[in-house]
Amino acid sequence: MRNTPKQLISLFATAGFLAVSLHQAKAQDANAIVKKMVQTYKSFNTYTETSEAKIALLGAPSQIQTTVFKFQKPSKFYVQTSDPQSGTLAIYSDSTQVSIYGGRQNIFTKRDYAGNFVSTVRTYEKVAKDMLDMNITQIISPISLMTAGENGLREGKNFRYLGVKDVNRRPAHVIVSPVDLDWLITIVGKQDFIPASSQVKLWIDKQSNLLVHAVIQFVWKAKVQRPGVKDKMILQGLVLDEVHRNQVVDKPIDVNVFRFSPPAGSKQIFPESR
């Protein structure tokens, strides 16, 4: 049996404390980077970008979803998403009215302006679900960043720093966090499930503090109940890999972009007709 000198034990203890301190500092730095990114997005007077997301469900072919986003403080915005499965969905807010248009069905609905930007977003999410049967969930998008609360992102909260990597020949911070369980429940629904390999990974431009790349993976095991079949747990999940491009900050935007003009032959859905 070999004895360990007391001085060496002290050294190990000191080194261990130092390693823990450095780890905590890196974790704190990563969360500080997220906070700074959120503050940056909330400070914009105007902002535009395009994005492309590769969305892959477990056991199903992947698809590409493209998005155009334009914003003018305090609450004018336009967002259009298109993908092969859902078609085109466009949302307009001109600070007096919110209009939601579904291109596949060529239908639209309108609501009077609901208040500030956060409440307007919540309103169109609910209206799209109730009136058009469309689920709209903002996942690490400019809208989700602009409406993030004091506790940070909904999608992840305990970020750690992975280093720096060039994105489009510009250095970007790379950070990662487990997916927040409370947020995952809003995606999966209130069912019995076991979270598996779920994480959110972000690339944030060092100079501009803009999000340039995000990968979110949430995987879970859920119990499937079918008549005549014994309950079993199956693996379910989704991977979203999104790149943000053409980011323009505080440049003039034509206000007509935020005004909705119904396309020819489109049908308006009224609340009382439900």
Kindly report, residue by residue over 90-145, the tens digit of the pLDDT: 999 998 888 989 888 899 988 887 667 777 777 777 777 776 666 667 788 999 89
CA–CA distance, 262 with 102 (Å, rounded to integer): 11
Evaluate the omega torsion of the peptide bond into residue 5 and state whether it is cis, within 30 degrees of 0.
no
| Better-scored residue on pLDDT, 63 or 220 | 63
CA 247 – CA 243 distance, rounded (Å): 11
Average pLDDT over residues 222-228: 68
| CA distance to 57, 64, 179, 185, 223, per residue, from 220 (Å) | 12, 23, 11, 11, 10
| Tokens linked to 273 | 């007709």
Alpha helical stretches, state H, the chain: 6-42, 117-132, 142-146, 181-188
Mean pLDDT value across the chain: 80
CB 120 within 8 A of CB 135: no
Q: Give 33's pLDDT tier (boundaries 50, 70, 90).
A: very high
* Listed residue (42, 48, 86) closest to 64, CA to CA: 86
| 53 has pLDDT over 60 | yes
The yes-or-no verdict on residue 78 having pLDDT over 90 is yes
C-alpha 163/C-alpha 30 separation (Å) is 10
Q: How far is CA 102 from the centre of its chain?
A: 21
Average pLDDT over residues 164-185: 89
* Confidence check: pLDDT of 81 > 70: yes
- Alpha-carbon distance of 81 to 87, in angstroms, equals 8
Res 214 pLDDT > 80: yes
Torsion sign over Cα 144, 145, 150, 156: positive
| Cα diameter, the chain | 88
